[in-house]
Structure 1
Amino acid sequence: MTVAPYSRNAKTFFAQYQSLSFEQVHSDWLSQFDQKAGLALDVGAGSGRDAGALAARGWDVVAVEPAARLRELGQGATRSQSIHWVDDQLPDLSKIRKLSYRFDLILVSAVWMHIPPSDRERAFRILTELLAPGGMLVITLRHGPGDGERVFYDVSREELESFAKRRALIPLPLPVGRKKDELQRDEVSWETLAFRLADDGTGALPTVRHIIVNDNKSSTYKLGLLRTLVRIADGAPGLALKRTDDWVDIPLGAVGLFWIMLYHPLVLRHQLRQAPGSRGYSFATADFFKLQSFTPLDFRVGMSLSADVAPVVLRAIKAACRNILDNPANYTTWPGSNRTVFEGGSARMTIKKAPVRLDKATLSRFGTFRVPSFLWDAFSRYACWIEPAIVSEWIELMGSWDLRYSMDEYHRGLQWVEGRRDTSAVRQMINQQLETGRVECVWTAKNLKATRFDVDHCFPWSRWNNNDLWNLMPSTHTANASKSEKLPGDLLLKEAHPRVVNWWEQAIVGSSREEQFFSEAEASLPLLGQERTLEGVFEGMLQQRLRLKTNLQLAEWLGV
């Protein structure tokens, strides 16, 4: 796509775009515009005019603009609105796809003529995969010659209609024919097409249901693998190593680690059968049983392990990885086929008696596991529905093998062990800082030395179980009680930015907790570029806030 001219002449283009109103440019499709606000993607957002108009109507907007100088001007003009700006572009939209959002509206205005014809079908497919069920895709087509500096390709209504038919999109009734250019250029005209996605359209949920309910199972291993992947996609999306059109690559060690965290209480604490009969489990080696005195909280992502404990945990992960590749990954197949759904390969690694941190780099040493992209997105978006279905089937399987236990015992065994609200470490950090200085409530800026304080889960614990250091904030008791289980509003979180970063600088940077802080953030936040900076972590928080609001439909808190 042509990008350089838009940066080089940013001020000229900014003024040109701002000279027209959203209603002038988009009158053709506004009659189809849903009055109910949702999540919108503005591709090629330019000056931010359209993104700003959508935000003013109550929409949360992700604005994509690859031209750096134009993006800076757009950000400046929309700074007070709920708009997230991202440096990305068609046909890939690689950064946007990493976030696993589904958009209720995607606007591609004055962009399509920049995309080479050979890239268009793929670009259209990617756009449709980003649509939420019932979502609308609007594309405006520019007809007319180039200007000598920017590259324009011929575009046609027929091309887009053929793409839409292949992707099962429903065309919306809009005025047919070309519209005069609002900037009064006689040689330029415009055409608008809009489409709606009737349903999910990816086939992900039927595939997941097949694995949960219909696929043959001689143990709980297939359910264990599925729940492991759902947990990673939902709670640790930052662990993804690479994404293509077809696959998401994640560290094999992360799959092994989450597997152990699932089976640790089932086998070691509750002694619940995970297969019929009395045979053992191929992953439960001597090292797994040495973890009897630990809890899964002791070896979660981001934790540092001592030289004595590290080899035991790493060998247990290695055995779990081998079992996963040999068994559930090998026997989980597409409906009506012997073709495996997942792929993976182990890597040679040496385990030494030395301290280690269970971060992304360490977990990558075990090898790579591959998940189909559309399934990864479903795991991320629909985790709150998929996981209970897995647990229900898991309980039914265990009950068919052993009738001695109650339903309560099965539920306790399958409870995710990180499901324990814990703010003690951060409370201690706040008390230490108050001994020598001032600590501010991130929401009200009040000094906590003079008032009762709480440790607030920025993203509510009851809806997204996360005790990471970046998610725990110093707060007055009043603010925490007012916020309760709500999600902080976008503008409120942005307003708190300097106090949040100041807290991290004050209590974490330069301390023994710094490496843990960044390792946890790297795993659980969709950090663009994987920046290990405080600003990178905060940007990841903004993206995660929007992801939680969209996926879980959480109520927002606008302050005390």
Structure 2
Amino acid sequence: MDRQTVNAYDAKAAEFAATYAAADVTGLHRFLLRHLPAPPARVIEIGCGMGRDAAFLARKGYTVTGVDASAAMIKAAQSAHPGLADSAGLRFAQSDFPLPAGAPPFEGKFDAVLAIAVLMHVPDSELFEFAFQARGLLADGGVLILAASTNRPGLDADGRDGAGRLFRERPPAELSLLFERLGFRLVDRQDDDDSRGRPGLRWHTLVLRLDAGAGTRPVDQIETIINRDKKDATYKLALLRALCDVAQSHYRHVEWHPDDTVSVPLGLLAEKWLYYYWPLIDTADGLFIPQKRGLEKTKPIAFRHQLSDLAAHFRNQNGLSGFHAAYQAEALDPTARTLTDAVLNKIANTIVVGPVTFASQGDFTMDNGPRTAKRRCTTPSGVLGALGRVHFRADVWRELCLVGHWIGEAIILRWAELTYEISERGIPVHLVLERLLVKPETERDVQAARELFSTLTGLTCVWTKVPLADREFDVDHVIPFALWHNNDLWNLVPAARTVNNQKRDRLVTRDTLLGSRERLIHCWQVQRHERPQRFDVEVNRTLLGRNYAETNWEQPAFAALVEAVETLAVQRGVDRWAPDAPASCRRAARARTASAPPEWRTARPCRHETPPEHLERERTASRPFMGVAPSAESAPATGAMPPLIVFPDLADDEPFRTALPVIANLAAGPLQAGFQTASLDDLEDCAWVRVPPRVAKPGRFAVRIAGESMSPTLHPGDLVVFEYHRTPRADGQIVIVADFPTDAAPGDCAVKRYRAAPDTWRFTSDNQAFPDVCIPKSTRPAHPILGIAVWNLTRASRV
């Protein structure tokens, strides 16, 4: 959320609250009731402001959580609805959205998410994260309702109003596609004039449903475009194939227009055509492959001559692969520059006067930009900016984005079949397919990246942080080559060979990608320093698009990479991969403890040799604490005591598969992140315990019970497995409650039983001699817990 916007709401909360309360939202509320599931469905409103819509739904019987980044607006909401706020049906809480890294998640899944007049305040760099986190809030089949404005008057050049609020307005079709790429289906859309009468201002309300297994859409519209006109040449298929490729990997170059159309750069399409037609025209065996009816005897395809000359120039320079390497690096020799300029200009003009102009029913149109630009189409950056743009319907673009990978493959087959027909059945389909599937060989790119990485000191595996020495590493594709056929410099990173072999053609998990952010960006900075021209061209083409900037590009580029990975995973069902526990940690730990006394290596029960001082309050404080038994031998013999082992004695495949760490002290801080990701970085010094495989999994850990507050359910000395969760699944579960540290107190943790209560977080002891723990919800908006008990190892039973 834009911070300047939040500050504006904080400064003028009363004024904004009064304005929103006076607005006529009768139509909006009718629309919400028509599309929301029946009460008492759980609804969360992001950016609830003064609570107008949240309170309306609560009165209708819904269970509503309203969150807003502005603390002042939350106070206004609580004041405006005193009879409802913090009741069983309505709760308000201050929270940024998207949630910052490490912030506790909201409680459970919701049946509906509302974001009314919010997305305009979200900058481009946070938009995908907003969408992805909103998706994560919904149960399968849940409903997302968005309302956003366009044509807002009175904004300055930076898109801000007089109060300083950001209004990044986006066409509704662009917003719809953003969510559809994440598995949503558009259910309804409503467009209205502004209820306050502001001239020109329009509101667009979208209803999207999260479909389990979504990811496929009908392609009837594309099929219609392909079949509508007689095909005298292969031009239309080439155009559609190029649009498919742009939609899959260069989609950031699209521009959205108010008339529900989009446009893409003509130069980008011309480049694609050059790569498609080169193998068809430059055949080493002298085979002539016609691409126009009449066998091209009297009228060849418009650019055959120019492309043949360019191919001939590179025949002794590794052909298409040699051209690609020089062109991407903007290092063509003078002759090649002249030939390339001629080819790209001729292809661009052919696209316009051919399939764009002659497509019936106006499927495609050309804007007023140039269709040729002599002496300016010699480099990737030049051709992108020198030519105009091709326009077509936004719904066609949406189909290409959602299933373009399938459509593109079908078009290649159609192209081969049409060539067979054009050649009067003289060129077999399989020979044409072989040439249509030719791509530049890019092994030299991988080798160049390897040589660069080999010169770096302190090189580590991007995914595991394992040190890479003596050139024993692979160059990995962040997005597998099999998915994107992409050898851009930003996509090439150093990885341990064992890691690369494990990952193969899978996408890394979200946690792995986010956890590798700094190492990835460092690789990018190194690559850019060595080859700035090429790196900038490639990161502009695929990750940043029209949002490219010379400075401060790292965070937008990484956000774009996250978007690309997550949408690929959703749309194409790609397997995800996360690294095993870093073997380097185990090797280092073994080396450090090789000479340690045997008794230390066979029994070390906890992270701390003695309990921290504030954990001694178990028997005397008003809130008993989970402590650590001094040793396994001194704990009461309440059952079979599992033996404890040290980390260096674990086999490489044991952590979180057949063994869990025994955590002595839990508090807010780095250890929590370790529980979330199963990272071993902070757990080497813990004792570990072997557990049944069905009990072990990432995110779980063991705790030794100290004190009698949970007797007779849990006894002092019991080893209990917890799963890291910030929200209980049901009333009555045994949890680790954490009163997180403040400036006045160190912060406490205890094992208790969760009890639902309207105004407080209430936790009880099974031993009636111990008082309840009550934490006001006003001071702790999210559940103050660190884990849920799942298994008692000492008693070999469920908790």
Q: Which segment drifts farther, 403-412 or 539-548?
A: 403-412
Contact 2:477 2:491 in 1 (8 A): yes
| SS of match in other structure, 2:414 | helix
Alpha-carbon deviations, 1:414-448, whole Å to 9, x = none? Answer: 11524x5x344344443344346232110111221
> CA shift at 1:307, angstroms?
2.7
Rate the CA distance shift 1:350–1:375 in 2: closer, same or farther, 3 A: closer
> CA shift at 1:223, angstroms?
0.8
Rate the CA distance shift 1:415–1:136 in 2: closer, same or farther, 3 A: closer
Counterpart for residue 185 of structure 2: 135
| SS of match in other structure, 1:231 | helix
Counterpart for residue 142 of structure 1: none
Counterpart for residue 358 of structure 1: 380
The separation in 1 between residues aligned to 2:540 and 2:574, in whole angstroms, is 24
Contact 2:446 2:487 in 1 (8 A): no
Identical positions, percent: 19
Contact 2:445 2:487 in 1 (8 A): no
The separation in 2 between residues aligned to 1:216 and 1:199, in whole angstroms, is 37
Residue number among 305, 309, 318 corresponding to 2:345 in the alignment: 318
> CA shift at 1:378, angstroms?
1.6
Q: Which runs of 5 or more residues in structure 2 are unaligned? A: 14-32, 50-66, 73-93, 107-114, 154-169, 198-202, 581-799
Contact 2:446 2:492 in 1 (8 A): yes
Residue number among 468, 472, 487 corresponding to 1:467 in the alignment: 487
Contact 2:266 2:387 in 1 (8 A): yes
Given residue 293 of structure 2, which amino acid in structure 1 is its aligned partner? P
Alpha-carbon deviations, 1:224-278, whole Å to 9, x = none? Answer: 1111111122122233355545222222111111111111111222532212223
Contact 2:141 2:210 in 1 (8 A): no
Alpha-carbon deviations, 1:116-137, whole Å to 9, x = none? Answer: 9999xx9877665656487377
> CA shift at 1:76, angstroms?
2.9
Alpha-carbon deviations, 1:151-188, whole Å to 9, x = none? Answer: 9979xxxxx9xx99xx9x8xxxxxxxxxxxxxxxxxxx
**Is 1:227 matched with 2:241?**
yes
Structure 2 matches for 1:286-301, cutoff 5 A? 286-293=305-312, 294=314, 295-297=319-321, 298-299=323-324
Residue number among 532, 538, 545 corresponding to 1:514 in the alignment: 532
> CA shift at 1:536, angstroms?
2.6
> CA shift at 1:372, angstroms?
2.1
Rate the CA distance shift 1:377–1:138 in 2: closer, same or farther, 3 A: closer
> CA shift at 1:482, angstroms?
1.0
> CA shift at 1:468, angstroms?
0.6
Alpha-carbon deviations, 1:45-81, whole Å to 9, x = none? Answer: 99xxxxxxxxxxxxxxxxx999899886753365587
Counterpart for residue 575 of structure 2: 555
| SS of match in other structure, 1:549 | helix
The separation in 2 between residues aligned to 1:223 and 1:208, in whole angstroms, is 11
Alpha-carbon deviations, 1:101-151, whole Å to 9, x = none? Answer: 997878667x75x969999xx987766565648737799xxxxxxxxxxx9
Given residue 302 of structure 2, which amino acid in structure 1 is its aligned partner? F
Counterpart for residue 452 of structure 1: 472
Alpha-carbon deviations, 1:275-324, whole Å to 9, x = none? Answer: 22232434325432112243444248744133331121111111111111
| SS of match in other structure, 1:308 | helix
The separation in 2 between residues aligned to 1:437 and 1:215, in whole angstroms, is 60
The separation in 2 between residues aligned to 1:528 and 1:75, in whole angstroms, is 26
Contact 1:285 1:319 in 2 (8 A): no
Alpha-carbon deviations, 1:328-376, whole Å to 9, x = none? Answer: 1112223xxxx34333455276644x995312x5322122222322212
Residue number among 391, 398, 401 corresponding to 2:412 in the alignment: 391
The separation in 1 between residues aligned to 2:231 and 2:340, in whole angstroms, is 28
Counterpart for residue 294 of structure 2: 277
| SS of match in other structure, 1:404 | coil
**Is 1:369 matched with 2:383?**
no
> CA shift at 1:520, angstroms?
0.7
Rate the CA distance shift 1:9–1:322 in 2: closer, same or farther, 3 A: closer
Q: Which segment drifts farther, 123-132 or 408-417?
A: 123-132
The separation in 1 between residues aligned to 2:345 and 2:263, in whole angstroms, is 18
| SS of match in other structure, 2:99 | helix
Rate the CA distance shift 1:44–1:260 in 2: closer, same or farther, 3 A: farther
The separation in 1 between residues aligned to 2:521 and 2:542, in whole angstroms, is 18
Contact 1:42 1:108 in 2 (8 A): no
Rate the CA distance shift 1:487–1:77 in 2: closer, same or farther, 3 A: closer
Contact 1:302 1:516 in 2 (8 A): yes
Higher relative contact order (CA 8 A, sep 6+): 1
Structure 2 matches for 1:129-528, cutoff 5 A? 132=180, 135=185, 205-240=219-254, 243-269=257-283, 271-279=288-296, 280-284=299-303, 286-293=305-312, 294=314, 295-297=319-321, 298-299=323-324, 302-304=328-330, 305-334=332-361, 339-347=362-370, 351-352=374-375, 356-359=378-381, 361-402=382-423, 403-418=425-440, 420=441, 422-435=442-455, 437-450=457-470, 452-506=472-526, 508-511=527-530, 513-526=531-544
> CA shift at 1:409, angstroms?
0.5
The separation in 1 between residues aligned to 2:212 and 2:466, in whole angstroms, is 49
Q: TM-score, normalization: structure 1? A: 0.68
Contact 2:363 2:393 in 1 (8 A): no
Given residue 362 of structure 1, which amino acid in structure 2 is its aligned partner? V
| SS of match in other structure, 2:263 | strand
Rate the CA distance shift 1:118–1:452 in 2: closer, same or farther, 3 A: closer
Counterpart for residue 38 of structure 1: none
Q: TM-score, normalization: structure 2? A: 0.49
Equivalences, count: 459
Rate the CA distance shift 1:218–1:444 in 2: closer, same or farther, 3 A: same
Contact 1:311 1:351 in 2 (8 A): no
The separation in 2 between residues aligned to 1:42 and 1:308, in whole angstroms, is 61
Rate the CA distance shift 1:33–1:427 in 2: closer, same or farther, 3 A: farther
Contact 2:337 2:378 in 1 (8 A): yes
The separation in 1 between residues aligned to 2:71 and 2:496, in whole angstroms, is 39
The separation in 2 between residues aligned to 1:116 and 1:312, in whole angstroms, is 45
The separation in 1 between residues aligned to 2:4 and 2:367, in whole angstroms, is 40
The separation in 2 between residues aligned to 1:253 and 1:124, in whole angstroms, is 27
The separation in 2 between residues aligned to 1:521 and 1:68, in whole angstroms, is 38
The separation in 2 between residues aligned to 1:426 and 1:233, in whole angstroms, is 25
Contact 1:220 1:397 in 2 (8 A): yes
Counterpart for residue 662 of structure 2: none
CA root-mean-square deviation: 4.9
Residue number among 53, 59, 75 corresponding to 2:99 in the alignment: 75
| SS of match in other structure, 1:389 | helix
Q: Which segment drifts farther, 376-385 or 473-482?
A: 376-385
Counterpart for residue 188 of structure 1: none
Contact 2:509 2:576 in 1 (8 A): yes
The separation in 2 between residues aligned to 1:30 and 1:409, in whole angstroms, is 59
Given residue 392 of structure 1, which amino acid in structure 2 is its aligned partner? L
> CA shift at 1:3, angstroms?
9.7
Counterpart for residue 145 of structure 1: none
Q: Which segment drifts farther, 287-296 or 321-330?
A: 287-296
